[in-house]
Structure 1
Amino acid sequence: MKLKRYQFNSLPFVSIVDDMGCPIDPYVSCYLNGPLSAKSANTRLRYANELLFVLRYFSKRNINLVERVASGECISQKEYMQFYDACLLNNEYKDHAFEIKSFDLDSKYLRNIIVANQKGIARVACETLQGRVRRLRQFLVWLFEQFHETQNVSEAVADRYSRLVSKIKLDEEGVGRNRSQKIGQPDESVISDDVFMRMLEIVKPSSPNNPYKASKIRNYLIVNLLAQSGIRRGALAKLKISDFNFFGTYDQVSIYRSGNDSTDTRAEKPNQKTKAHFATIDPGLMMQVKFYIDQIRILYPRAQFHDFLLISENDSKGTAGQPLSLKAINAIFQKLSRTLKFNVHPHLLRHKWNELLDKEGERQGVDRALLEDVRKYAMGWSQTSNMAVVYNEKRLALKARELSSAYQRRVDKQK
């Protein structure tokens, strides 16, 4: 059982198939490409991975969810609780407690310690747990509507279904309220200034420490566009030449959602996740983008059939000139991480951008309320978004420590 992605009339689809490549169930395919069709391709892929986890779990226990719901039986509370326990652990987790050959009288005690330690290490993030539980609930609800919406069901079936869905819903919401218990250091940067500056230095095409043998100018643009604009990887990959305002202040880039783009041949189509806005970059970087378009991109014949800025320059698979894939961008950062000996990825630069915004706003004495409005605009967040809370909490923690230290010093002097 695995995922399969394909395109039809330039529209992306995702399905769960068997080892022969055939869909495992028509209802599963209809669910993924019916009620979820309005979602972006990447969101559908995430939901499909969650459903794949659900189906694999129950398949191993010889439970066919479609048949269960069709019969009105669904799954029992016990079966659901066992599933919930499995959701807590990552896919690679295996219980090795019973592989321990021999111990003395304390063997049971030691096995319990080993199991507890394994499960602690293998626990998934709250968002992963919540996604798996939500996918089970929404799939069960959708199936129940397909089989029983237009006909009366017995009171026993309706009650059993209602209690099960309510239980899953409570667990799902409970996970949402109980986020990670990890407390980060308020003065700890996602990437230190030293590593950040070293990264910007070595990606320069002229740097002797540049880790790339080819595509140095393109990779330089990728890193600097992310660092200067704070945009996401998907927004970067979908940038078109026409999105760059090579006029006026010579520093504006249009960031927006484009829906299904028929000119995008990539199976994993990138897109902007949040609302449209203008991103600001240095005019010097804008000139380097123009140089890349006029002197490098133009050399690839296939690049003339689309407007995407970033292209593949490697023709080992016949892809030279085609839009650069998201996986290729990830590979660029993996090589960069090995050189830096620090794990850097596209979204990390988005967090670093926000840290630098805080520092510059404080240096210029910008009003806090105005600074948060600026942040929301630059990140593409709506004015009602709570995403800025993450950065506000960090700043509040620093201020709380500063005030507490000042108060303690005053008390010490009085003593």
Structure 2
Amino acid sequence: MNLSLRRVKSSNGERLIVLVDELGMPLFYPALYVTVHMRGRSLALNTIQSALSALKAMYAWQRYYNIDVESRFSSGELLLSHEIHSLRDFMQKPLADEDGGSVVSISRRVRTVSKGNQYARMSVIADYLGFLADQNLPASISSHDGVERMVSQIKANRPKTSNKSNVSREDKYLDDTVLDTLEITLRPGSANNPVREYAVQVRNALMFAILRITGLRRGELLNLKVEDIDFGMNTMQVVRRPDSKGDARAYQPVVKTRERVFPLIPELADQIYNYVVRLRNKVPGAKKHGYLFITHKSGGSQGLPLSNAGFGKFMGMLKNIVEGNRDIHAHALRHHWNYSFSKTCEIQGITPQREEKIRSYLMGWSETSGTAATYNRRHTKELASKAVLELQYKHLDKALKGGAL
């Protein structure tokens, strides 16, 4: 059975994702699991997608070992220890999409997914198999304890993960000279601009400028509407629009964090205004939805909101502008904004406590989330390094004067 994930948009604008077979029919129990255990908790669509990707891997494991867990549970049998071990080993392997994504198998190359990926897969599968067992075990069989033991054993076989991989997040930032080079190259009319159409050049330059100046997420950028820009007050508002009816994109970009307002320098607000009035609004269909960044290229998608795939193509293009730099992506620009913000706060003498509050607001985080503190640690580490070097130079200078060295 060849499975794939499919995103759909309902008549009321709600975005859904389902695991379907080769005929496009949703699988019953995964759909029920998502409805009962995930959508009821208002989990993000990307979270549901990750869970269904884990179940897709589980079905590949079933096919490989000729195991039918639904039939097994219906006959009152649970998974055995050696089968759980094979599940554990199988979840180390990456899924490979073949034939345009319609066929799902396990890659034959000797590659493995990260421990974090394997851990996440097995966590979902453990929960799902517990749900499936409760649904299918005969009522005459009292095996609640057995189901719990099976679920616990699957979870016990998850790989041990380390927090060390997350240590350097606050240290990630880009070189300003690289960003300056990108900005110059993306300027409309630049001889080195990789895009030839002027309207697309203006759009791309604006997207890059907004990402660099504000640290917005990809979804927040693609979710911007013309009405979110107050051209009188020179402000830009980040607004949550989950399951928007007016957004034709099945893969709808969403605002994951809190709503907030950014002040804009007049020059940037003017550039956005000129793009909207002189270029964007002249594209057929662009005025029907209001989203700021659109597809300009002629064809069926002309005038529609820029898709995630279109944005990904833009970011991929940036990686080829500066030779040898493959670290350019939307979230890297967000990290860099946080680095630049810390430097600005240091120059202005803003206290770490005040810096954390301001950062939390501008990034859309709760003040109690602790995320802002991650970047404040980078600031503290830098100041600590500076202090240590000053002490060393002071000691060295004293030692040289005393003739000790």
TM-score normalised by the chain length of structure 1: 0.83
What secondary structure is seen at the aligned counterpart in 2 of 1:68? helix
In the alignment, is the contact (CA less than 8 A) between 1:14 and 1:33 conserved in 2?
no
Could you tell me how far 1:267 is from its partner in structure 2? 0.9
Alignment-mate amino acid for residue 15 of structure 1: V
Give runs of aligned pairs for residues 128-167 of structure 1, distance below 5 A. 128-147=117-136, 151=139, 153-154=141-142, 157-167=143-153
Alignment match, 1:335: 317
Q: 2:277 aligns with which of 294, 309, 314?
A: 294
CA distance in 2, matches of 1:382, 1:394: 19
Alignment-mate amino acid for residue 180 of structure 2: M
In the alignment, is the contact (CA less than 8 A) between 1:293 and 1:309 conserved in 2?
yes
Partner deviation per Cα, 1:38-75 (whole Å, 9 max, x = no partner): 33333322222222122222222122233333444332
Alignment match, 1:3: 5
CA distance in 1, matches of 2:62, 2:392: 58
Alignment match, 1:69: 73
Determine if the alignment matches structure 1 residue 314 to structure 2 residue 297.
yes
What secondary structure is seen at the aligned counterpart in 2 of 1:228? helix
Q: 2:177 aligns with which of 170, 194, 214?
A: 194
CA distance in 2, matches of 1:393, 1:237: 30
CA distance in 2, matches of 1:408, 1:72: 71
What secondary structure is seen at the aligned counterpart in 2 of 1:4? strand
Alignment match, 1:208: 191
Q: 1:329 to 1:26 in 2, by over 3 A?
A: same
Determine if the alignment matches structure 1 residue 219 to structure 2 residue 201.
no
In the alignment, is the contact (CA less than 8 A) between 1:229 and 1:280 conserved in 2?
no
Alignment-mate amino acid for residue 121 of structure 2: R
CA distance in 1, matches of 2:122, 2:169: 31
Q: 1:378 aligns with which of 358, 362, 365?
A: 362
What secondary structure is seen at the aligned counterpart in 2 of 1:301? coil
- The farther-off stretch of 331-340 and 393-402 is 393-402
CA distance in 2, matches of 1:39, 1:308: 25
In the alignment, is the contact (CA less than 8 A) between 1:302 and 1:321 conserved in 2?
yes
In the alignment, is the contact (CA less than 8 A) between 2:172 and 2:332 conserved in 1?
no
Q: 1:70 to 1:241 in 2, by over 3 A?
A: farther
Q: 1:26 to 1:288 in 2, by over 3 A?
A: same
Q: 1:268 aligns with which of 228, 236, 251?
A: 251
Identity of aligned residues (%): 26
In the alignment, is the contact (CA less than 8 A) between 1:312 and 1:321 conserved in 2?
yes
Alignment-mate amino acid for residue 151 of structure 2: V
Q: 1:82 to 1:400 in 2, by over 3 A?
A: farther
In the alignment, is the contact (CA less than 8 A) between 2:130 and 2:148 conserved in 1?
no
Quote the RMSD (CA, aligned, Å): 2.7
In the alignment, is the contact (CA less than 8 A) between 1:13 and 1:33 conserved in 2?
no
Aligned length: 381
Could you tell me how far 1:189 is from its partner in structure 2? 5.0
In the alignment, is the contact (CA less than 8 A) between 1:211 and 1:336 conserved in 2?
no
CA distance in 2, matches of 1:308, 1:363: 37
Alignment match, 1:82: 86
Determine if the alignment matches structure 1 residue 22 to structure 2 residue 6.
no
Could you tell me how far 1:171 is from its partner in structure 2? 5.5
CA distance in 1, matches of 2:373, 2:84: 34
CA distance in 2, matches of 1:59, 1:280: 55
Q: 1:270 to 1:152 in 2, by over 3 A?
A: farther
Q: 1:326 to 1:95 in 2, by over 3 A?
A: closer
CA distance in 1, matches of 2:20, 2:108: 28
Could you tell me how far 1:313 is from its partner in structure 2? 0.8
CA distance in 2, matches of 1:207, 1:306: 31
Determine if the alignment matches structure 1 residue 60 to structure 2 residue 75.
no
Alignment-mate amino acid for residue 148 of structure 2: S
Alignment match, 1:106: none
Could you tell me how far 1:185 is from its partner in structure 2? 10
TM-score normalised by the chain length of structure 2: 0.85
CA distance in 2, matches of 1:166, 1:282: 56
Q: 1:185 to 1:260 in 2, by over 3 A?
A: closer
Alignment match, 2:227: 242
Determine if the alignment matches structure 1 residue 277 to structure 2 residue 265.
no
Alignment-mate amino acid for residue 290 of structure 2: D
What secondary structure is seen at the aligned counterpart in 2 of 1:340? coil
Could you tell me how far 1:192 is from its partner in structure 2? 0.8
Determine if the alignment matches structure 1 residue 47 to structure 2 residue 31.
no
- The farther-off stretch of 300-309 and 81-90 is 81-90
Alignment-mate amino acid for residue 141 of structure 1: G
Q: 1:72 to 1:358 in 2, by over 3 A?
A: farther
